[in-house]
Structure 1
Amino acid sequence: MYRILIVEDDRTIAQALKRHLSGWDYEVYCVEDFKNVMEEFSNVQPDLVLLDIGLPFYNGYHWCSSIRRISDVPIIFLSAAGDNMNIVMAMNMGGDEFIEKPFDLNVVTAKVQAMFRRAYSYRGNTNIIEHKGCILNLSDASLIYQEQKIELTKNEFRILQILLEHAGKIVSRDEIIARLWESDAFIDENTLTVNVARLRKKLAGVGLEQMIVTKKGIGYMVEA
């Protein structure tokens, strides 16, 4: 079943879209927290986004750009501002389709269905791990936090991935080393210490000084 995320401030419109699209057997979610759209995006991991331009805090162009940093998921803009400038802007920011308000729900459904037919060689590309506002992109080994993107080395990425997959639990140094060996990355005790130190420095650069916790004599953890 395809998942659709609706990013629409007008609750009447959002609920009407949800009811209608749910009737076509789509799994539909509406964003509730417009300050943290990316957190809801990562939680839902939608197959398509319906995105209004005029939103609280940040507009739809901002969120489209944020989504495009981590995903190729189809984005359909919805807006009463259907002039050429806004349509061109929406497409340039990474949108795939533009529907002007007021719209017919059957037209929206037809466009959604057409978008799914065109797009679904991409399925599975929303390949991310989200934790407390941090988004680890498994496709390009990068971390995004508060609109800042950190490029990670192969070892740094794998260490952080392992810790995030076990958030709230201590991961022993031996387990981390064993997992890294599985990925053909040469690493020993000293190499692990150096890589964790470098990773911490990068995290501190974007305000995540306390993300990785050392459990002396055991290993490391990311708190849940």
Structure 2
Amino acid sequence: MFKILIIEDDLTIAQSLQTELQKWQYDAQYVTDFNAIMEKFTAWEPQLVLIDIRLPYFNGYYWCTEIRKVSQVPIIFISSQSERMDIVMAIQMGADDFISKPFDLSVAIAKIQALLRRTYDFKESDPFLSYQNIYLKPAEMKLQYQDEEAELTKTEMKILEQLFLHKDEFVTREEIMVNLWENESFVDDNTLAVNIARLRKKLAGIGLEKFIVTKKGYGYGLKKEG
């Protein structure tokens, strides 16, 4: 389980991020003592840091510099100070990404997941994903159901991979599009709809009709049994 440290002075935002991250099976904690940020970082050893610019005592730029002295852990700034120079400063201090406040939690989660994927190669220990005796094989770009297999394009595989990873809930269209964008598949809402329609037709050809279900005005999920 990935450990994510939240360094955020606004307790409401810190708690909202923690709750949402925990829904996605991340171990998220937020800093409560802003005089002991490095002590918390060193003791807990997170795999990713979310940090605001405006903090008590020293700002986020300072703490980003301090973290970079001892670690190359990925860092995402989350701040309402989102002028061009603020973003440039964050990147120059060692940040990997920047999310402007106010932000959509689903888009923030998608950006966090994309950065974790780029930083940590965890697919080697996960050669396939399964759901109700249906197997997704990312390395082979195939989906297997009973004795049938569907060959997938890169975009189709990335869509299904995200749905399989979050098989008990719906994934927003925005999360899927951000994931595809991060993987160099540049899509908008219309292109995503076309890919979903094509993928549904392909899956119906191996006996998986209506396997991808739509939650109107939100996104997509996998069909539940019963």
TM-score band w.r.t. shorter chain:
0.5 to 0.7
Equivalences for residues 193-208 of structure 1 within 5 A = none
Separation in structure 2 between the aligned mates of residue 82 and residue 58 of structure 1, nearest angstrom: 18
Give the aligned residue type for 1:14: A
Residue 43 of structure 1, CA deviation: 1.4
Give the aligned residue type for 1:103: F
Residue 121 of structure 1, CA deviation: 5.3
* 1:61 equivalent in alignment to 2:61: yes
The aligned length equals 122
Q: Secondary structure at the match of 1:116?
A: helix
Equivalences for residues 175-214 of structure 1 within 5 A = none
TM-score with structure 1 setting the length: 0.54
* 1:36 equivalent in alignment to 2:36: yes
Separation in structure 2 between the aligned mates of residue 7 and residue 44 of structure 1, nearest angstrom: 13
Q: Hey, what does 1:72 align to over in structure 2?
A: 72
Q: Hey, what does 2:159 align to over in structure 1?
A: none
CA RMSD of aligned residues (A): 1.1
Equivalences for residues 1-224 of structure 1 within 5 A = 1-120=1-120
Unaligned runs of at least 5 residues, structure 1: 123-224
Separation in structure 2 between the aligned mates of residue 111 and residue 2 of structure 1, nearest angstrom: 15
Q: Secondary structure at the match of 1:69?
A: helix
Q: Secondary structure at the match of 1:50?
A: strand
Question: CA deviation digits over 1:179-212, x for unaligned, max 9?
Answer: xxxxxxxxxxxxxxxxxxxxxxxxxxxxxxxxxx
Separation in structure 2 between the aligned mates of residue 18 and residue 98 of structure 1, nearest angstrom: 18
Question: CA deviation digits over 1:75-116, x for unaligned, max 9?
Answer: 000000110000000000000000000000001100000000
Residue 73 of structure 1, CA deviation: 0.2
Separation in structure 1 between the aligned mates of residue 89 and residue 22 of structure 2, nearest angstrom: 30
Please identify runs of 4+ aligned residues in structure 1 that moved more than 4 A.
none
Q: Hey, what does 1:139 align to over in structure 2?
A: none
Q: Secondary structure at the match of 2:117?
A: helix
Question: CA deviation digits over 1:17-54, x for unaligned, max 9?
Answer: 00000000000010010011000001110000000000
**Higher Rg:** 1
Unaligned runs of at least 5 residues, structure 2: 123-226
Q: Hey, what does 2:218 align to over in structure 1?
A: none
Separation in structure 2 between the aligned mates of residue 47 and residue 92 of structure 1, nearest angstrom: 20
TM-score with structure 2 setting the length: 0.53
Separation in structure 2 between the aligned mates of residue 13 and residue 24 of structure 1, nearest angstrom: 17
Separation in structure 2 between the aligned mates of residue 17 and residue 110 of structure 1, nearest angstrom: 13
The percent of aligned pairs where both chains have the same amino acid is 54
Q: Secondary structure at the match of 1:72?
A: coil
